[in-house]
Amino acid sequence: MVTVENDKTLSFPPTQAPLRSFSREETFARLLEGIQDCAIYMLDPEGHVVSWNAGAERIKGYASTEIIGKHFSEFYTPEDRASGVPAFALTQAAQKGKFEGEGWRLKKDGSRFWASVLIDAIRAGDELLGFAKITRDMTDRRMMQEQLHQSQKMEAIGQLTGGVAHDFNNLLTVILGNLDALSQQVPAEHARWRRAIDQAMRASERAASLTQQLLAFARRQPLKPKPSDVNRLLSRWVDLVRRTLPESVSIRRVEDPEAGIAEVDQNQLENALLNLAVNARDAMPNGGTLTIETANTVVDTHDATVPFDLKPGKYVLISVSDTGIGMTQEVLERAFEPFFTTKPLGHGTGLGLSQVFGFVKQTGGSIKIHSRSSHGTTVKIYLPRLSEGTVTQESAKVDLLPYGKASASILVVEDNDDVRAFTVEALLHYGFNVIEAANASEALRVLESKSAIDLLFTDIGLPGLNGRELVSTVQRKYPNIRILFTSGYAQMPSPTSSHWLPEIPLLSKPFTQSQLYEGVLRVLTS
């Protein structure tokens, strides 16, 4: 017999006589009491609680005096009770000897936890004495699994999206570039042809901007990060966005003067904030308050409030909250997916939050949405904070040389034949001397045989030696050659961990003839 703290006596184990009864019982009682991580308790054959250990009190919140004698179905959710889950569990245990399962259970305070449950029938011969029940709180593990699953899903969608967008960029470079060349050739009096070309151009430009949004989600958009005073950027941005919101929406700013400096692409950050403001506006059709808050945040331990993939460190936190309709759990789980929208056709693209997500991740930060139906939404963006740093000013625009004055020699390295042909032709058109190479080793051979190259214009993603590796060799061997990168996307894990990009200029695909010309001239004249 084991005496438990509520003075009820139980026979346990029921069938076997203890060898040395006293010490065994005492040891067992201590063991049971000592277990804090599991709720271990007994039920009578009808399911009333007859014993309660410290673990049960800790997990479920009831003291033994409050719960002994009550029916164990109290721990189940109303939905589970209504569909007969507790009764089913007991019947199974009685018939088969045990029942195992997982599900949401209720604590005394009404909050839910994810329980792993084992119910064992206890018999003496044929007689059912009751049930031993072991419950573990698996909420944290379940949350981790869900978040992991979620991030794997996002990773997979990102891979796919990024791949498609990258290839589309190459195609669009050729389409846009050739349309651009055509439009310069067709005389103004051929109105019909000009219209046709213009329409095709506009459609390609829309396709290019869609591709850009997909790249943003896939964390592969070319970013131009620079140290930025987040408060200053926000105050400028708020002035701008105020004009685009209806009067029924008021804007509140809460500024932590110590919020700090983050290394971000300012345009993309403004773009992300705008996407959040538009979502907030849509969520508050009858008006409300949009709050934009900054904070200087240090993450050292992990709890449920910070994104699970956020590394310990110093962050600038930007929170954007609204008092709108909020999100259901289902919407919350899918909100970042590209093309996921709950808005009517023509109102939502489903690309707003995916841009924010991709941009923040690519910047080395993290993001979390806190939202409940009818309780508004808060989106928290964590950007890595620079410990010190100077805020760089906008660089002055270079004056472009007039067309026709270009006589520099340019080595074009591009593996895509169409893109290379278009690029070479465009540069020849502007009067440059052009040499082409389809990969890095060809490029290096050209450089060895002909040293009078002024500019290397290279794709980053090349088969074999990639563009970055080519450039590091060229910079070492031919330090006078200027360099301009091009890419369908920037393959950099985070701007803070690789500083090459801000130093070497990049012309993102797709580019038009004139963008190519401007890009090349800017590098040649800098």
Q: Which residues are at the interface with ligand ADP (CB under 6 A)? A: 275, 279-280, 283, 322, 324-327, 331, 335, 340-343, 348-354, 377
Residue 343 interacts with which of ligand ADP, Mg ion, none, CB < 5 to 8 Å by class: ligand ADP
Q: Copy the structure tokens of residue 513.
A: 């003839």
Q: How far is the CB of 322 from Mg ion (least distance, A)?
A: 12
Contacting residue, 338, 352, 364, 488, with Mg ion by CB under 5 A: 352
Query: Is the distance from CB of 104 to CB of 85 less than 8 angstroms?
Result: no
Query: Is the distance from CB of 456 to CB of 505 less than 8 angstroms?
Result: no
Cβ contacts of 444 within 8 Å, gap of 6 or more: 470, 473, 474
Q: How far is the CB of 253 from ligand ADP (least distance, A)?
A: 17
Q: How far is the CB of 323 from Mg ion (least distance, A)?
A: 17
- The bridge status of strand 377-386 relative to strand 9-10 is unpaired
**Residue 510 found at the interface with Mg ion (CB under 5 A):** no
Q: Cα separations (Å) of 516 from 180, 400, 510?
A: 12, 12, 10
Query: Is the distance from CB of 155 to CB of 217 less than 8 angstroms?
Result: no
Nearer to Mg ion, 279 or 486 (CB): 279
Q: How far is the CB of 186 from ligand ADP (least distance, A)?
A: 37
Nearer to Mg ion, 134 or 283 (CB): 283
Q: How far is the CB of 279 from Mg ion (least distance, A)?
A: 4
Nearer to ligand ADP, 333 or 442 (CB): 333
Q: Copy the structure tokens of residue 279.
A: 């979502």
Q: Which residue's Cβ has the minimum distance to Mg ion?
A: 352
Residue 319 interacts with which of ligand ADP, Mg ion, none, CB < 5 to 8 Å by class: none
Nearer to ligand ADP, 231 or 275 (CB): 275
Where would I find the beta strands (DSSP E) of 14-142? 38-43, 98-106, 112-124, 127-137
Q: How far apart are CA 11 and CA 19, in angstroms?
A: 15
Outline where 186-284 has alpha helix (H). 191-217, 230-242, 266-283
Q: How far is the CB of 322 from ligand ADP (least distance, A)?
A: 5
Nearer to Mg ion, 351 or 507 (CB): 351
Q: Which stretch binds Mg ion (CB under 5 A): 8-16, 124-132, 276-284, 294-302?
A: 276-284
Amino acid at 384: P
Residue 322 interacts with which of Mg ion, ligand ADP, none, CB < 5 to 8 Å by class: ligand ADP
Residue 227 interacts with which of Mg ion, ligand ADP, none, CB < 5 to 8 Å by class: none
Q: Which stretch binds Mg ion (CB under 5 A): 13-21, 240-248, 351-359, 510-518?
A: 351-359
Q: Which residue's Cβ has the minimum distance to ligand ADP?
A: 352
Nearer to ligand ADP, 80 or 322 (CB): 322
Contacting residue, 212, 279, 297, 323, with Mg ion by CB under 5 A: 279
Cβ contacts of 285 within 8 Å, gap of 6 or more: none
Q: How far is the CB of 291 from ligand ADP (least distance, A)?
A: 12
Residue-by-residue DSSP string for 147-190: HHHHHHHHHHHHHHHHHHHHHHHHHHHHHHHHHHHHHHHS-TT-
Q: Copy the structure tokens of residue 260.
A: 């700090």
Nearer to Mg ion, 64 or 355 (CB): 355
Tell me if residue 521 falls in helix, strand or coil: helix
Amino acid at 88: F
Q: How far apart are CA 460 and CA 469, in angstroms?
A: 9
Q: Which stretch binds Mg ion (CB under 5 A): 153-161, 279-287, 475-483, 491-499?
A: 279-287
Buried/exposed 47-74: b ≥16 CB within 10 Å, e otherwise: bbbbbbbbbbbebbbbebeebbeeebbe
Q: How far is the CB of 352 from Mg ion (least distance, A)?
A: 3
Nearer to ligand ADP, 241 or 483 (CB): 241
Nearer to ligand ADP, 287 or 348 (CB): 348
Q: How far is the CB of 287 from ligand ADP (least distance, A)?
A: 14
Q: How far is the CB of 88 from ligand ADP (least distance, A)?
A: 36
Q: Copy the structure tokens of residue 451.
A: 């040293």
DSSP tag of 48: B
Q: Which stretch binds Mg ion (CB under 5 A): 261-269, 277-285, 376-384, 480-488?
A: 277-285
Tell me if residue 240 falls in helix, strand or coil: helix
Nearer to Mg ion, 288 or 352 (CB): 352
Residue-by-residue DSSP string for 419-476: HHHHHHHHHHHTT-EEEEESSHHHHHHHHHH-----EEEEESS-SSS-HHHHHHHHHH
Binding site for Mg ion (CB under 5 A): 279, 352
